[in-house]
Amino acid sequence: MNLKKRTFNYEEYFSKYENLIPNYENFLFSLKFPIPQYFRINTLKVPTKEDQEYLLEILRKKGVNFEKIEEIPYFYRVLNNEEISLGNLEEYSLGLIHSMTLSSSLPVIALDPKPGDLILDMCAAPGGKTGLIAMMTEDKAIVVSNDKRIDRLTALVANIKRLGITCTITTRYRGEHFPFGIPFNKILVDAPCTGEGRYRVGLEGEILYQKGSGKANLPSIQKGLLVRAFDLVEPGGIIVYSTCTINPKENEEVVDYLLRKRQAELLDWESPLPFHPGITEWEGKPYHPSLKLSKRYYTHEIQAVGFFVAKIKRIN
């Protein structure tokens, strides 16, 4: 992970969330340790159980120690985290496995993609969620994978090819301006965010953050993306909005904005990992009461990147 140093103290930074994050002291303590690596088997290239067992045995012989994630099929947690770089493995280059934090699967699980769906992955690069959508639909959906930056599109296309996906179309638009056409059945908006769910702490107590996380005016961008997604999905269609940040202004407040601008409703969905319900008020500002159906995931409870996921239905 490409990390840079922030100069401010992590305890001071996160203090605004002290009453929001459960077991807050445990959360702060967890920031001092790296997030575990995870990988998933790519069943588009390794379809049978016999082949999957053979692949796992090869990885063991190469020194990768791992444990199966029982809650989410085909995912594994690397146990010798500091010794292994998954991206350097031949099995990764061949597309047999894909490095992906466990919680990144949650928006796709909420989306529940099916063969035959027409799906837009609005902010798709570098392609992990597009890859999981393709795998869950057995490469039999139509997935439009969009990103606005040409450098990120390069990584997206490379991952699509590496994973052996044939059901995707890649496009380059600002998500807020994605053109109208045939309405989508389902849209994933994994929005750009401050990435607080990825933050770690350095030796001097400084925050280490992901490069590029300091973008300005993110809530405005996020609201534009979500409203556009609503306008692009068919009546009765599904939108999943997700971020890897903690800030309610990038999470519940963005969904609340959509609920007040359009005829949409929040849906519940079965989560494979422990979560906390979304909040209905922040800093004295009330949000729509149905936001309790959104889900918050904290890094110290799931041993993965922190996430926010909301599943939304277009009423008409």
36-100: same fold as 3-34+103-314? no
CA angle 23, 65, 35 (to 5 degrees): 30
Alpha-carbon distances of 128 from 36, 83, 118, 308, rounded to whole Å: 17, 23, 18, 17
193 catalytic? Reply is: no
167 among annotated binding-site residues: no
By C-alpha distance, which of 16, 62, 14, 70 is closest to 299? 14
Choosing from 31, 221, 226, 244, the catalytic residue is 244
Q: What pLDDT is recorded for position 36?
A: 94
Task: Give the rounded distance of the alpha carbon of 235 from its chain centre.
Answer: 25
Q: What pLDDT is recorded for position 274?
A: 97
CB 136 within 8 A of CB 44: no
264 among annotated binding-site residues: no
- CATH architecture of residue range(s) 36-100: 2-Layer Sandwich (3.30)
51 among annotated binding-site residues: no
151 among annotated binding-site residues: no
Pairing of strands 276-277, 97-99: unpaired
By C-alpha distance, which of 194, 200, 312 is closest to 248? 194
3-state secondary structure 33-77: CCCCCEEEECCCCCCCHHHHHHHHHHHHHCCCCEEECCCCCCEEE
125 among annotated binding-site residues: yes
Domain covering 3-34+103-314 in this structure, CATH number: 3.40.50.150
Divide the 316 residues of the chain into consecutive groups of 10 and give the mean pLDDT of each group. 59 94 96 94 98 98 96 96 90 97 97 98 96 98 96 94 98 96 97 94 70 69 98 98 98 98 97 98 97 98 97 95
Q: What pLDDT is recorded for position 84?
A: 87
What are the extents of the domains in the chain?
Answer: 3-34+103-314, 36-100
Alpha helices, DSSP H, located in 137-279: 150-162, 218-232, 252-261
Report the chain's C-alpha Rg in angstroms: 19
Phi, psi dihedral angles at 139 (to 5 degrees): 65, 30
Task: Give the rounded distance of the alpha carbon of 111 from its chain centre.
Answer: 12
Q: What pLDDT is recorded for position 243?
A: 98
190 among annotated binding-site residues: yes
Task: Give the rounded distance of the alpha carbon of 290 from its chain centre.
Answer: 22
Q: What pLDDT is recorded for position 316?
A: 81
CA angle 190, 292, 122 (to 5 degrees): 15
Q: What pLDDT is recorded for position 212?
A: 46
Separation of alpha carbons 293 and 204, rounded Å: 38
